[in-house]
Structure 1
Amino acid sequence: MDHGLPDDQTVKAALALGVRAPSVHNTQPWRWRIGDSAVHLHLDPTRALTSTDPEQRDLVVSCGAALHHLRIALAALGWSAVVDRLPNPAAPNHLASIELVRHRPTPFDVELSAAITRRRTDRRQFSSWPVTPGYLGLVTERAATLGAIVRQATDGSRDSLVQAICMAAERHAGDPGDRFELAEWGGRHEPDYAELLVLSTSADDRCARLCAGEALSAVLLTATNVGLATCVLTEPLEIPAMRQRVRVGVLDDGSYPQAVIRIGWAPTSAEPLPPTPRRAVDDVLDTCDTPQATAC
């Protein structure tokens, strides 16, 4: 990068944390380009799961999580990100242009950046210890600053959500295409003592889904920072009928569900989880001399 902006190695160090973001079925559907004055995030359609995600909703949410991870990493390195989302209507896969300005890191920036390498998708049974309302309020506030709504599923709404999760799992189990994709990309989950949160947005266009991914990242990193375990559930939102069931049964038909999150305490005796493999930064990075790199 030029014009007094960070050198490419600094940007790559931040990208190494950005690509630690969770993605649906670990698809990692992002490509990055470092330009003279900005970093560009693109959706990689070759990573799409055509059976479970025909509208690429999950892919955009995943890219939003990577965008937020990158912003947090850059802030800890002394750079604030000014994001232009969907900057080119003619190129819908160009999801964001990120310009950088100097920034004095805060303790919060450093703590949240450190949480990136500690965060894991924890599919194990959570303990019966309750999550304090203060922590649930904190993740709700962090999501709200990024344009998303977090609602805790309780009582009847929890029953409705659990039914949707179970019905979606049964539906996927009967679809050969879904079975193949789920076997290749991820695992299955069942609710237990965890709290169930539904993250939603007031709109359901590509920009809203991108912001939902950013908010999802904020929730997961905030939870990690206070010691909570998390796991994102995708199955109930991958089937239109089940997604509508969640919208009506949990969200009172007032917003669009974008992610379901299990959140709780891992058992004290649980072994640390290994990190999920990620593609190297160089494998997802284009340069401006790449023929298709038109957004530089």
Structure 2
Amino acid sequence: MSTDLAAGLLERAVQLALRAPSVHNTQPWRWRLRPREVELHTDTARHLPGTDPDRRDLVISCGAALHHLRVAVAGFGGAVEVDRLPDPEDSSHLATVRLVEGQPDRSAAALFGQLARRHSDRRRYSPEPVPAAHVAALVERAAQLGAVAVPVTDRAVLRRMTEVLGRAAREQRHEPGYLAELLTWTRRYADAGDGVPPAAVPVRTGQWDEPGLQRFPSGTLAPGRGLGPDGGLLLVLATAKDDTAARLAAGEATSAVLLTATRGGLATDPLSQAVEVPAARRDLRAALGLAEHPQLVIRLGFPAPGAPPLEPTPRRPLRAVLLPP
């Protein structure tokens, strides 16, 4: 592949990687494009210290973008090697992705068509349960990316977990700066290209307002008209360690799980609130009996019957996230 073709492929891949999910849709990443490689850096100006004091969400968000990039490159027919945390002196430099000779990653390429289809769906889900085969596929996909995916199916465990989520939501509201950050990123100015717009958040009805599942203020999105109980499932992503490398892997696994679920017709909604509060992380780990460290909770299920398509949430243009070569 010529240098010009390689550079064009990487630029198109980064453009698609910008569709990755991120905490409050802050899109906390910067990219440095070179002819045959691209660097991924954190954007510390978009770190939310009140919400995410230990940068867990920041790195997980960037990990999701890294996996989106890999899927995009594979979908365009390219092969890559990834050097994660390549510079011990620069903690903002999370990865360098290089084009190499070879066949594209088939498992990544299979998810290419989902990059534009995946959206966080915060509405009520259908009563239809998620089939065991779907869950098994998500668990396997997470394992391939270095994470453990734990589906919460036991009612007693789910009840304890819901209590943890609710307690985390209440405690976090008293954290300095948290409410200001929440307001900032849900009331963005027109054409901001980031944040969570009201059209992406369901109207509060009082009928489905479980603590920990609805972080944002009431929006304008119709909440869904599912008959019977919500059939959604909570899936906890965890890692053996709890360092930057583990959080980056958790982000890559998050992307893989979300895209795989989308391909299977499922709606998804990442929930980070429980893991942003240290006490809640400990309680969640105990409630699930985990040896690993919880990094993220993903809610998933089938969309409610008749639910209209979601509007894409805003994304910043490529020029706004590029570093000088």
Normalised to the residue count of structure 2, the TM-score between the two structures is: 0.83
AA matched with 1:101: V
Q: Distance in 1 between matches of 2:83 and 2:97?
A: 6
Q: Distance in 2 between matches of 1:132 and 1:253?
A: 23
Query: Which region of structure 1 is more displaced relative to structure 2, 199-208 or 4-13?
Result: 4-13
Q: Distance in 2 between matches of 1:107 and 1:150?
A: 22
1:173 CA drift (Å): 3.2
Q: Distance in 2 between matches of 1:192 and 1:129?
A: 8
Q: Are the aligned partners of 1:78 and 1:103 in contact in 2 as well (CA < 8 Å)? A: no
Tell me which of 191, 196, 214 is aligned to 2:234.
Answer: 196
Match of 1:56 in 2: 55
- Can you give the 5+ residue segments of structure 1 that lack an aligned partner in the other structure? 289-296
- Can you give the 5+ residue segments of structure 2 that lack an aligned partner in the other structure? 186-195, 202-211, 215-228
AA matched with 1:135: H
- Over 6 Å off, 4+ runs: none
**Matching of residues 169-180 of structure 1 within 5 Å:** 169-175=169-175, 177-180=177-180
Query: Which region of structure 1 is more displaced relative to structure 2, 70-79 or 192-201?
Result: 192-201
Q: Residues 233-292 of structure 1: CA distance to partner in whole angstroms, max 9, x if unpaired?
A: 111111110111111111x2400011000010011210100011011111101232xxxx
Q: Distance in 2 between matches of 1:98 and 1:234?
A: 27
**Matching of residues 1-296 of structure 1 within 5 Å:** 4=3, 6-104=5-103, 109-154=108-153, 155-175=155-175, 177-185=177-185, 186=196, 189-190=213-214, 192-250=230-288, 252-288=289-325
* % identity of equivalent residues: 45
Q: Are the aligned partners of 2:50 and 2:175 in contact in 1 as well (CA < 8 Å)? A: no
1:3 CA drift (Å): 6.6
Q: Structure 1 residues 83, 171: CA separation in 2 closer, same or farther (over 3 Å shift)?
A: same
Secondary structure of the 1:196 match is: strand
AA matched with 1:141: E
AA matched with 1:268: P
1:177 CA drift (Å): 2.0
Q: Are the aligned partners of 2:6 and 2:36 in contact in 1 as well (CA < 8 Å)? A: no
1:107 CA drift (Å): 7.1
Root-mean-square deviation over aligned CA pairs: 2.0
Q: Distance in 2 between matches of 1:193 and 1:214?
A: 26
Q: Distance in 1 between matches of 2:314 and 2:243?
A: 30
Q: Distance in 2 between matches of 1:184 and 1:61?
A: 21
1:170 CA drift (Å): 1.6
Q: Residues 49-102 of structure 1: CA distance to partner in whole angstroms, max 9, x if unpaired?
A: 011111111100000000000000000101122101000111111000111124
Q: Distance in 1 between matches of 2:175 and 2:43?
A: 25
Secondary structure of the 1:118 match is: coil
Secondary structure of the 1:117 match is: coil
AA matched with 1:169: A
1:161 CA drift (Å): 1.4
AA matched with 2:323: D
